[in-house]
Chain A
Amino acid sequence: MMILVTGGSKCGKSRYAESLFRNRTEQKIYLAAMQPFGEEAHTAIRRHRIMRAEKGFLTVEQYTDIGRADFPDGSAVLLECMGNLLANEMFRGDKIIDCADKIISDIQQLYQRTSLLVIVTNQVGSDGITYGDGTAAYISALGRINQKIALAADKVIECIYGIPVTVKG
């Protein structure tokens, strides 16, 4: 089962995504793609790790090459979030890398090792602003990735002010 959870900033995606794991009995993995920059981020991450441990999640950090994340086969996995993963893959070198297809193939590899894969992503293309090349390429790549995951997913949910709206499934 693959579920894609999308929405704008601070719309309750994470809380909703975590709620999908409430009744799971297998190992629960929180796959974190955000790279901590600075002490504030480290403090926030420590706090979140403890909060999730209380909910039965083991946190695994994997910033790129998500298919290679280390966790037991058959785990229920919450990947957060596609926006961070894409930025890490896209801006890892000197040049911007068009990595949409690579990420899709990594996700397929990851999905095969899970009993449940919930992916949290972002809606970033609705402000009408014309950005510079790097940001425009990022918005385009995230849109394409979201479409491909949505096609493969059993369910797609858009969160709006904390309310989950079923888009698919």
Chain B
Amino acid sequence: MIELFRQRKYLQFILLLVIFIILYQSIGPSETNVLWRFPPLIKAFPIFINDSISYLMFEWWPIEVYDPDIQEYEQKPLVSQFTRMISGFILFMIEFIREIMLGGVKTIVTFSGWDWATANPWAKWPGLPWTVVAGGATILGYALNGRGLALLVGLSTSYIALFGQWEPSMQTLSFVLVAAPVSVFIGLWFGVWAFRSKRIEAILNPLLNMAQIVPHFSYLIPVMVFFGIGDHAGAIATVIFATPPMVRLTLLGLKKLPPEVAESGVMSGCNNWQLLTKVLIPTARRDILIGVNQVIMQCLAMVVLASLIGAKGLGIHLLIALNQLKIGIAIEMGICIVLIAIVLDRMSLAWANKQTDYFSNPTFTEKYKYLLMFGVVFILGIMFAYIGTFIFPEGINYLYLIPHNKGISTAVFWQSGVDWIWDTFFFSLKAFNEWLTVEVLMPVKAAYLGMPVVATFTLAMGVGFIVGGIRSALIVGGFLMFIALTEWWDRALITAYLMTVSVLIAGFSGIVVGTLCAQNPKSTRFILTYCDTFQTFPSFIYLIPVMMLFGVTDTSVLIAIIIYATIPALRYTVEGLLSVPESLQDAGTMSGVGRLQRWLSIELPMSFPHMALGINQTVVFALSMVIIGAMIGTDDLGQLILGSLSDRNGVGNGLILGICVACIGLAIDQILRTWANQRKQALGLN
């Protein structure tokens, strides 16, 4: 009997559920009962953290720094001097790229100083006419992958220019062109490191989760103190957010390689470096390139939030337009962000897939034809811009730069579309919303809030125990204990409720739709483009119409989270199904499997590692939306993080609140990952 119980996991789960329900029913709300809520023993911890960080930011190891502006010596802590040096370098890179496209004085000022630049106003770097940048990008697209890519690039850049979003788009682009390569490089490096050492992998995993989940509002003020405010601060916050998927996918790709690949490399006499760069990374290219795609998507997903710490470009203009409820203009800008993301992604993909041709022997013009083409475009573009000064003698020279919001606009079209949806569906959606809120969401939320803390721990640790033994149970319990001892347990329960509902819906629909779409190359391409689009299209834009329809309610918050969190479930399901080896499929065909059998017995098990990562990322994405939820209006941890911005002890509070959000994610990750590893072992995939 006991033996049977030990083997049948579902029996264990049923027992756990029974205990949970008994605990739930028997302990009622009470201020004094420790079993209902733990006392906030580490209530003072955020203040301690606050003081420590303040000490690090403003006092530790002071050195004298001369400020020529106010002609005084100032006491500055060494750490921030060091971090400021880094940010100075990053800022220079961003400004340099930006000024090639738009012109300006910052690059010159870096070398000459403001005094000289002010005295010599002619010393200004002229920006390129938009025609030259657009033409150049199109030629690059052609050189990388022929006519199709050239067409995509040409149309995208023309759209951005003609719709009057050129300047902010190039500002955004220049900051992405710095943040993305840095993320790819760091991610690749850490991924390889984790591949080499199990211990590093174990240390990295929670850190990666934290980097993705902790809302960067939590560390907004430390970033502003250490790195200053501006594009560089935005770039740094972006790198923190965008690197983790690169690490994960590099690791996933390298792990999947059969040992024979490395062995053959070693046999051919590779040293370590050659083995890595010539054998392992190229062979794991498929997954590493998904990593690059993810970095680019995440960088552009951060455009709006980065603008809150000084990143110039589309982000701030979007916020302005939305605050005036100009949804049409906001949609146009959102499309610009998506186009930049897609163009960068397709170009980097084409570049990485381009094979070097060792055998041809090109003539001079063949070898340099693209450079020559660019030379022609360059001269023509400047000539047109010059002619433009005669065509448009007063005001705007459309052949040089179409100023912000002075191009063609389809805003009216989008706006009327939004209005139409509103007029048509308002009342039916309102009824649905009321039903959902009253019948589903409010009861679920009340159920979460009515959970005695002991019941929550029993359930979570019990699941941990059944899945991964005592070790998992303790890890899960540890993460929850941290939250339970702060004074924010109830807020965390609300976050958990929003996350559970959205992950269930997002995970289920992602896997089902992903599987259906992966059956056919056309629908596969469509669904991946859909993922790219909604991963980068700023959620704020569709949130305004959603808020108008559903009000400032949890329904709006859930819609926002689900749209974003479905993406990894979809993407990783599709990628997983596509990575099933051809030979296995053939073997299946020969054994005469049916469609359903193929899916159940070959495709699903083989793509399991990808799907597990996908669900893990769904949880992470859902939790990273906590702050967006707060911007709609919630009463969970996210709202307190927003509140901490103006709080006296805000730095400590914000950070600990952010870590509480991450702890939820880490606890779930522990259970999911242990389970996934067991499944992989069972399937012989490790």
A binds B: no
Interface residues of A (CB under 8 A from B): none
B residues sitting closer than 8 Å to A (CB atoms) are: none
